[in-house]
Chains A and B, each alone.
Chain A
Amino acid sequence: MSVAVRTLFFAAYRDRLGVSELSIDLPSGSTVADLVNELRGRGAPFDMLPEKPAVAINQTYSFLDEPLTAGDEVAFIPPVAGG
């Protein structure tokens, strides 16, 4: 069994990774931290992502131990600079 999630990258992350969106399959029971490890484990350029990035699941800021569910939208949020 696996869960498919949709990951989004914005601003500096998108520029550095050269991608704004990826679909990723993870073993069921995976958490946000597992997703981060999976991505960083791909090596450059994904290892530019912080070990403990700010993330939002389905548009809500989330902890890294949050379990993922199929269809979740997981956004990697670089430090914000609105205003």
Chain B
Amino acid sequence: MIFTEVSPDPIDTAALLAEVGSNEDGAALLFIGVVRDHAEGRKVKGMRYDAYSEMATEVLREIALEASIPLGTDRIAVAHRFGELKIGDISVGIAVSSPHRAEAYEASRFVIEEIKKRLPVWKKEHYLDGVSEWVEGTIPPGAGLEDSTHVAPLTDEGLA
């Protein structure tokens, strides 16, 4: 069963792993994203994550649903944290399980990449020199477009 959570509470990785797994599964995978002490040559002492939490929970669920199709199971558990985090704190945790490892690796990778593209979450780095800055982000695909007619239809080459 898909589990998603966006919360200010510390991420319990053992609980995430416990959400996935079954007697059919030979592979279970846990990915964690961790706050590191540097960014583009600057020393970082901490990070503030902001989230549009109600929407982010839904977007996480959509991402997990999309990941479950090629995974072949719905055993995906994803948690994203917000608030003030220290170096070494876990900002995101992704647990997946499947009968074979290849699908599990693929699904785990898909979830983190899609989080970076479209989860309504932002981070502000606190640098050692006392300055804090919002990290430059990504415009979610399809967002901010004037109208639906500006979306190019998918066509085979030569048929457009």
A4 an interface residue at 8 Å Cβ cutoff?
no
How many residues of B are in contact with the other chain, CB < 8 A? Answer: 37
A77 an interface residue at 8 Å Cβ cutoff?
yes
Size class of A's contact patch? 20 to 34
A38-53 residues at the B interface, CB under 8 angstroms = 50, 52-53
Selected contact of A80 from candidates B91, B117, B124, CB within 8 Å: B117
- The interface residues of chain B lying within 8 Å CB-to-CB of A26 are none
Which residue on chain A has the smallest CB distance to residue B117? A80
From known contacts A12-B134, A83-B91, infer whether A77 and B146 are also in contact, taking CB-CB under 8 Å.
Answer: no
B-contact 0/1 string along A4-15, CB 8 Å cutoff? 000010111011
B72-106 residues at the A interface, CB under 8 angstroms = 80, 91-92
- The interface residues of chain A lying within 8 Å CB-to-CB of B140 are 54, 61, 77, 80
